[in-house]
Amino acid sequence: MDNPLLAQEPLPAFPAIRPEHVEPAVRELLSANRARIGALAALEHPTFATVVEPLEELHHRISRTWSPVSHLNAVLNSESLRAGYNACLPLLSAYQTDLAQSEPLYRAYRTIAEQEGAALAPVERAVIEHAVRDFRLAGVGLPAERKESFKTAMLELAQLQAKFEENVLDATNNWNRPVTDASELRGLNDMLIEQARRRAQERQAAGWILALDQPTYVAVMTDAESPELRRAFYEAWATRASDQGPNAGRWDNSMVMEQILARRHAAAQLLDFPNYAQYALATRMAHSVEEVLTFLHELAAAARPAASAEFAELEAFAGRKLAAWDVGFYAERLQRERFRVSQEELRPYFPLPGVLGGLFEVAERLFTVRIRERAGVGVWHADVRFFDITTAGGAPVGGFYLDAYARPNKRSGAWMDECVGRKRLSCGAALPVAYLVCNFLPPGEGRPALLTHDDVVTLFHEFGHGLHHLLTRVDYPSIAGINGVAWDAVELPSQFFENYAWHPEVLERISGHFESGAPLPADQQQRLIATRSFHAGLSMVRQLEFALFDFRIHTEYSPAHGGRILEILREVRRAVAVVPVPEWNRFPNSFGHIFAGGYAAGYYSYKWAEVLAADAFAAFEESGVFDRATAQRFFDAILSRGGSRDALEAFIEFRGRRPDVRALLRQHGITVAGEAA
Ligand SMILES: [Zn+2]
């Protein structure tokens, strides 16, 4: 067998992988897996050893073959690779669907749970519980007629969500702002103006044409000095795909939204959940509707006074009453005046080698591991480096690739992904391997890569995800590392680790001017840290408005009264919003996160995870941010446990109590009731 994608070596043979390997490898693997699954499903006396373990191994093999492919597609895209990748997507998705819908396997897992459950280790029971839960949520256990209705609702939902997105896209693409008076462009950056000039030229128009894409919208809101221009953009943006604004009634999503809520509600009820929110919570750390609403209201009660004070201060700074389209503009000015820190000016103080050294030191001190670069590992690009993680005694734990720099044909953004998952099964073992991918500015002539502090925070964030994947002690791939972790808890390790990038002791260690070696001057460090809480109240109430709106419409939908979308939005705004919003604002009509994407009844998780991370870090602040005993508890209860246990129980084991929202408020300098500021 010479297809490198089917090899089982500890690391993929990246230099040997060719686009023509992709489709044959996936086809061969899927057909072998299907044959094996057929045999497993037909077993008369299924047991953990004869069904669950082999399925875990098949899961591992799919990931071993597909992970390098999807990774290369993201970081070294080419036409031939993309063709192979796209050819495999429908094959994989059909395989996953068949697996998720398999009644014989569902029966087998339930039999094993009944007959062996009591004798199994907790982690083995967790593997089975996850599988049974997911079968149930996919409708596998329903009687024939209800199963048909469930499938129909899901299918229609997929079409409606696609329609929602199309409408937003069309509405966005079909508005622009022709500008003939140059003074209207004052404040905007040259690149944007040049783009607008070219757009006008292409259409043989005079002057400039500004489009309604997100970067332009954000730039106009923060930089454009003309209030008329800001208002026009705000109105066009906030009324997209609705019954209001410059394109009122065209591409209107109002009915689509109602239909989406109706299908979600129907699907949840077919599975015996009272509403869609409760259905969504079946796989989350938060368990009840009440719990989420209490959480959001608790944060709102504390954040609102802070937000009001910030808004009053901003109006005083501007010297007038502010409309919704003025806030971003004056906030930017106030921030510049107050902090005088620019990310670009910080770059010389954060050369990548020093930052990496400091980052590794933090992980080594906390979790008594060693991180060392290994030369000679086969990689996909000359800039990529490989690092081994071992215990202090030198026993191997795992490893990771670091692909740090932006380059053509690489997807933007930063992420951590699984290259190899950890497993220890009777048929063999594997150590975890991760990809850490960033898009930093590459090194220049005679100087290392220089990061902004935003970049530093990003690196710490992704490294936190990496530790979650790499330091896992779970033996079964489906719940090892980040697999099977509740979706609203999966950002805990990453956001937790971000805190170190803001800590004075760490800043001192990782910063060093690339020429002089001098650490970041104390006053600059202080101002940098202070930027973290700038307008914390205003940004929090904004997020809470979205989260409450999302959660309430997915809880309160009823066939008799429909979604009451605008009504609920008004109620939420009355309760939490601080910045005045015009009556014609229709932001839900383009709120793709919840109507088209995966955040339905899940927008709260942004704040939820921030609270977990802040509260976990507060435990370290109480005992010292490098305290070994606290770190060991964090490792034992959370970091090493993957999806093998309930996320709330894990948190309580670590913290000795439930998460406390006050940790996040304190972190952002928001006064907590009953405490001095
Ligand atoms: Zn993340």
Question: Model confidence over 643-672: pLDDT tens digits?
Answer: 999 999 999 999 999 999 999 999 999 977
- Where do runs of H (alpha helix) occur along 477-521? 492-498, 504-510
* Residue keyed to tokens 């690489």: 410
Quote the DSSP letter at residue 562.
Answer: B
Q: How many CB atoms within 10 Å of residue 290?
A: 10
Q: Among this protein's residues, is 116 annotated catalytic?
A: no
Tokens of 553: 């419409």
Residues with Cβ within 8 Å of residue 507, at least 6 apart in sequence: 501, 519, 520, 525, 528, 529
* Rounded distance from Cα 305 to ligand 1 centre (Å): 29
Q: Model pTM greater than 0.95?
A: no
Check if the beta carbon of residue 559 is closer than 8 Å to that of residue 262.
Answer: yes
| CA angle at 515 for the pair 511 and 516, rounded to the nearest 5° | 70
Whole-number Å distance between alpha carbons of 201 and 189: 19
Tokens of 261: 């809520």
* Rounded distance from Cα 416 to ligand 1 centre (Å): 8
| Amino acid 340: pLDDT | 86
* Rounded distance from Cα 426 to ligand 1 centre (Å): 33
* Rounded distance from Cα 405 to ligand 1 centre (Å): 19
The interaxial angle of helices 144-173 and 254-270, nearest 10 deg, is 160
Whole-number Å distance between alpha carbons of 134 and 222: 44
Q: What is the CA radius of gyration of the chain?
A: 26
Check if the beta carbon of residue 478 is closer than 8 Å to that of residue 126.
Answer: no
232 closest CA partner among 176, 182, 192: 176
* Rounded distance from Cα 614 to ligand 1 centre (Å): 15
| Amino acid 673: pLDDT | 65
Question: What digits encode the pLDDT tens for the residues 408-421?
Answer: 999 988 999 999 99
* Rounded distance from Cα 452 to ligand 1 centre (Å): 19
| Amino acid 345: pLDDT | 87
* Rounded distance from Cα 209 to ligand 1 centre (Å): 36
* Rounded distance from Cα 458 to ligand 1 centre (Å): 9
The interaxial angle of helices 214-223 and 227-238, nearest 10 deg, is 140
* Rounded distance from Cα 427 to ligand 1 centre (Å): 33
- Phi first, then psi: give them for residue 433, nearest 5 degrees: -135, 140
3-state class percentages of the chain: helix first, strand second, coil last, to nearest 5: 60, 10, 30
Tokens of 195: 């783009």
Catalytic residue from among 53, 235, 418, 462: 462
Check if the beta carbon of residue 40 is closer than 8 Å to that of residue 54.
Answer: yes
**For ligand 1, a single-atom ion, which residues have Cβ within 5 Å?**
494
Low-confidence ranges of the chain (pLDDT < 70): 1, 673-677
The SS3 of residue 596 is coil
- 357 to 350, 360, 364, 401, 631: CA distances (angstroms): 11, 5, 10, 15, 20
13 closest CA partner among 60, 61, 64, 50: 64
| Amino acid 677: pLDDT | 45
- 116 to 47, 48, 84, 128: CA distances (angstroms): 8, 8, 43, 11
The region, left, alpha or beta by phi > 0 then psi within -120 to 50, assigned to residue 441 is beta
| Amino acid 214: pLDDT | 87
Q: Which residues of 404-413 are buried (b: 16+ CB within 10 A; e: fewer)?
A: bbeeeebeee
256 closest CA partner among 151, 168, 170: 168
